[in-house]
Chain A
Amino acid sequence: MSLKNILEDWSKYRKGREEGGFHEYEHMWGMAIDLDKCTGCNACSVACYAENNLAFVGKERMGKGQGMHWLRLERYWDEPDLGESTVSDYQYHGASFVPTMCQQCNAATCEPVCPVAATYHTPDGLNAQVYNRCIGSRYCSNNCPYRLRYFNFYSYYEEAWPAPLNMQLNPDLSVRDKGVMEKCTFCIQRIRTGKDAASREGRQVRDGDIQTACAQSCPTKAISFGDLLKMYDPSSKVADSKTAGLWRKHQVQLGKTKQNKQTADLRGYRILEGLNTDPCVMYLERVRDV
């Protein structure tokens, strides 16, 4: 709490995102998800449950909408644009699957509305949720346009893992008690492990060193996880990634609300980017046989 702080850093703290903001980013973790390859098998969702100590809430509570699926497979049945008159059970005609997880928006709408500063933007480009600080006002979840934040309505851990199932819990992260918000963290525990290993060996993190649980378990390799910082700041020293390559190939840029593309074949898009959330997840639209 010092006057020196205030006077020296006033202009630095006044910068908005467009001017580079306050952060000097070390990484900018992002994803590219190919919806054409996605079969809707839900392996990614199950892997997320296993990796992140997500609780089974049971059929009744799931029916009431009190589930904890950080990564959810959204199924959309009908596509009126295709002119189909019948809906089908198979992805070949009609059904679409969209694996949705926290988009780690660079201009996250959830961040400024938390009354106790329990969610913030890390220098890794992630939107972090601090479980210890959360008092459960749930404003962040209401303000997320993707509705990707989940709340612990009960102390799920009391019933979710009766012995010996509690042996499956991942010791790298906590089990959350009732009253806190939680969401996808891009497996921050794996990111932390990867970064620690790289710094122990005195090198930069290489592309492929870190894999999120969902990317690792996808049988068709539809989910690609990597560092996008080279796109955001070309002068940075981090390694470029395949994911960033996909972003560039499909001409999707960070910091824009509407992408300019040269051809319509370029399938990449970001969900609800017109709301100026600047998400770090790009989806590649399903190739249609129309």
Chain B
Amino acid sequence: MKKYHMLGLFSNFDEAFTAISDIRHYKVPGVSVDDVTLISPIEHPEIEEVLGERTSHVPKFTLMGALFGSTAGFIFLAAAQANFTVQPQGGKPVIAIPSNIVLSYEMLIMAAVLCTVTGFLLGARLLRRRKSLYSENVGVDQVGIEMEVEEKYLEPLKELFREHKVLEIREEVAK
């Protein structure tokens, strides 16, 4: 069976919300809410009530970056200082803990921020070619529901969307 991508555009978030809620409650048998993607001009954390819990892995990247930055930073500094003992002293030790703590803190934040950005780019699947099924109206105020379904579910879904006052439906064959 051929798979289709389908995008239904609604005039505001509430209608899209109710449409997804219907899908969740199996108004179209065989279609699961896990196939649904919401496309919106602003963020809608409340959609997870009907879309189901979906996780984001960005905090793991942040934690990893912070731990790496602080420990690698401190070790790097201590190693550089131990290697370069001719460093000026002024009565202070060569491996000075207060200075190293300040610098390790900065490196913690730098590494955490860079890893967070990396996690974002990976998790959001950016830097890839955009799917062609996209409407510029999403950037203005319309909310889209995008689904990847088999052909036999196309018509029932279109019916459901029309019940919820869909403005436009686009479809294309999935490659």
Contacts and interface: CB of A to CB of B under 8 A. Distances in A.
B86 A21 contact: no
B93 A13 contact: yes
Most buried by A among B79, B88, B93: B88
Interface in A1-51: 1-3, 5-6, 9-10, 13-17, 21-23
A151 B83 CA distance: 30
Contact of B86 (A107, A120, A276): A120
A155 interface: no
Nearest to B92: A112
Given A1-B83, A9-B82, A10-B82, A121 B95 contact: no
B90 A6 contact: no
Contact of B88 (A1, A6, A112, A276): A112
Nearest to A22: B94
Interface string B80-115: 111111111111111101000000000000000000
B121 to A, nearest CB: 32
Majority-rule SS of B interface residues: loop
A120 B87 contact: yes
Chain A contact patch, size range: 20 to 34
Contacts of A107: 90-91
A111 B89 contact: yes
Contact of A120 (B79, B89, B91, B95): B89
Most buried by A among B79, B83, B84, B91: B91
Contact of B82 (A13, A109, A117, A119): A13
Contacts of B95: 10, 13-14
Interface of B: 78-95, 97
